Structure formats: structure tokens, C-alpha cells
Amino acid sequence: MCSGYPSPLPRVQRNLQTLGSLWCIYAGYRLLAGLMGVFFLRAFSMHGFGGRGGWMLGNQMPPIMPLWMGAMVPVVATATVIGAVLAAFVGFSLLQRKQWGRTLAIVVSILALFRFPLGTALGIYTLWVLAPAYSGMEYEAIADRS
């Protein structure tokens, strides 16, 4: 049954470049949003942006959040860097068609489902492309064996 139209590319081959690019963009977004969060967490839990009364009102301005929230800065910074590195690693592995890239992408996309709304959307898209069994066979066929 030849209809004259070219047959569409399989799902993985059709979406892999877009998926890898979106993971790289998401890594940059995670890094930027996380660093902004760390910056403002530090500023609002300490005495302003200067550390010891750097607000416009000088030393009269109390901290907006409790001081113990400042202890969360290293935790938030570490989680930000780990999340961004994982996302960048997934994007790189998919763009380079690494053999282990599909497995890593599925694991990280499940973790990204909890990051509403962008992580959830990217996680669902990744699982839709890579999770089915026939996607695994298709990915194996196009994966770089080096």
C-alpha cells in the first residue's frame, strides 16, 4: 500500500534531537532559578544583601525570615547544582546518542516529574518518547556504540 507519502520516522528518531536540546535548556533554567533562589534565601534570612544591614534602611531592618533559614543555603545550592548537572548530562547523552543515555534519561525524568510545571512536562515528554519497550529497541539501533 504505497500512498506516495514518505513514511514517518519512528518516535525516538523523530524526537531525540528535540528531547536532548530541551534537557540542556532545562539544565540552564534549573541552574539560573536555583542560584536566584539561593541569593534571595541568603538575603532574606540574613540582615539584607550586605550581610550585616545592607538594606536601604540600614541596621533598623530586621531579617524577613528566621536566621536558621540561612543554614539552608548550602543545601539548596547543592541540590541546584546536582539537578542542573544531571539534566545537562541527560541532554548531552541523548544528543550524543550514548548507549546508557536512555536509562539515565528515564531515571532523571521520573525525578523531574516532581518539579512542576516545566520538569513535569519534560518528564512526561521524555517518558512518552523513551519508556516504551519498542523505544528501547529503536534507541539501541541508533545508539553510539563507542
Q: Which residues make Cβ contacts (< 8 Å) with residue 84, sequence separation at least 6? A: 27, 28, 30, 31, 34
pTM: 0.80
pLDDT in tens, 32-60: 999 998 888 877 776 555 545 555 445 55
Where along the chain do its domains lie? 11-142
Q: Alpha-carbon distance 85 to 71, whole Å?
A: 23
Res. 85: pLDDT tops 90: yes
More confident of the two residues 33 and 67: 33
